[in-house]
Amino acid sequence: MTATGSIVRGIVAPHPPHLIYAANPPQNEPRSSGAGAWAPLHAAYQRLRASIAAADFDVLVVHTPHWKTHVGHHFLGVPRFAGRSVDPIFPNLFRFDYQLEVDVELAEAVRDEAAAGGLCTAMMRNPDFRVDYGTITSCHLVRPEWDKPVVCISSARTAFDYSNEAGDAEMLVLGQATRRAVERSGRNALLLASTSLSHRHFTEEPADPEDPRFEHIYNRNQALWDQRLLGLVRAGAGRQILDEMPDFIEQSMSECKDGGLSWLLGALGVPDYPGTVHGYGTVIGTGNAVIEWDPSAAAAAGGAA
């Protein structure tokens, strides 16, 4: 089969529900105070949306850490989902009425490629399944119009059940499978790794969760790790990121343990060209960055893609 589809962008799209709360979309019931604690991340997402505004894409393919599956990698496999998503930890901030379309054909193609690569996989065929808030938040912040179908991939538990190294090995296979399926499908895809970086967070909220006086990184160790990782992104050192990933995960309690960033790097062919860091900010002490890799721009500039 001729390869016609492509990965148009690879994006790190963090999903703290706080960012939805602060944006006050009509789908979310709680109303923000407007105090502005997370303005740097909103500005980062705004820069990302401007950067992809002229991009030609058909589908968002998202890997989420908040759909946790204990036996293998699962894929949404019903054309349409609708419901109310409530964040179990922050129900005060996120009660979101969603409707989303799924590109089931592409989801099945990714599943088939992943299975051919030796991974344990399954399709989610329950039409009443409640889509997780990671998927909803990242998709909304990247594409608030909700006018593109999604492919949604769960977080398998290999890293948690066995080791970070074993988890990453699977995520690289899954990334390569995703790339092959996108190319074979003829789709142009945005890939979203829905993930925070460092992830230790405070366990108490101020009276106004959006009060900027209380928002800062949990500890300096996390800040240093996040800055190290972003330096490697800017340097185009994808291989080095993967080499350091097990330590990054362990020492900063990173949400990358769920595999999204490793999956994305694998799908991009482990980039040796820089990613654009649109911005960095903390949410209840966690570290979050909005990052974009543009493979075709890198190829045009003479890099590998």
Site residues (CB under 6 A) for ligand 2X7? 15-17, 196, 201, 255, 283-284, 286
Closest to ligand 2X7 by CB, 164 vs 282, is: 282
- State the Cα–Cα distance between residues 172 and 189, nearest whole angstrom: 18
Closest to ligand 2X7 by CB, 16 vs 167, is: 16
Position of minimal CB gap to ligand 2X7: 16
Closest to ligand 2X7 by CB, 15 vs 73, is: 15
Rounded to 10 deg, the angle between the 133-142 and 39-52 helix axes is: 60
The closest alpha carbon to 278, from 291, 265, 288, 294, belongs to: 291
Closest to ligand 2X7 by CB, 114 vs 136, is: 136
Q: How far is the CB of 255 from ligand 2X7 (least distance, A)?
A: 5
Q: How far is the CB of 194 from ligand 2X7 (least distance, A)?
A: 9
Closest to ligand 2X7 by CB, 94 vs 273, is: 94
Q: Calculate the alpha carbon distances from 128 to 28, 78, 84, 168, 273 in Å.
A: 20, 10, 11, 31, 42
Q: How far is the CB of 277 from ligand 2X7 (least distance, A)?
A: 18
Q: How far is the CB of 9 from ligand 2X7 (least distance, A)?
A: 21
Please check whether residue 265 is in contact with residue 238, taking contact to mean a CB–CB distance below 8 angstroms. Answer: yes
Closest to ligand 2X7 by CB, 125 vs 130, is: 130
Q: Which two structure tokens, joined as six digits, stand for 263?
A: 């999956």
Q: Which residues have C-beta within 8 Å of that of residue 116, sequence separation ≥ 6?
A: 177
Q: How far is the CB of 93 from ligand 2X7 (least distance, A)?
A: 9
Closest to ligand 2X7 by CB, 114 vs 197, is: 197
Q: How far is the CB of 304 from ligand 2X7 (least distance, A)?
A: 31
Q: How far is the CB of 185 from ligand 2X7 (least distance, A)?
A: 30
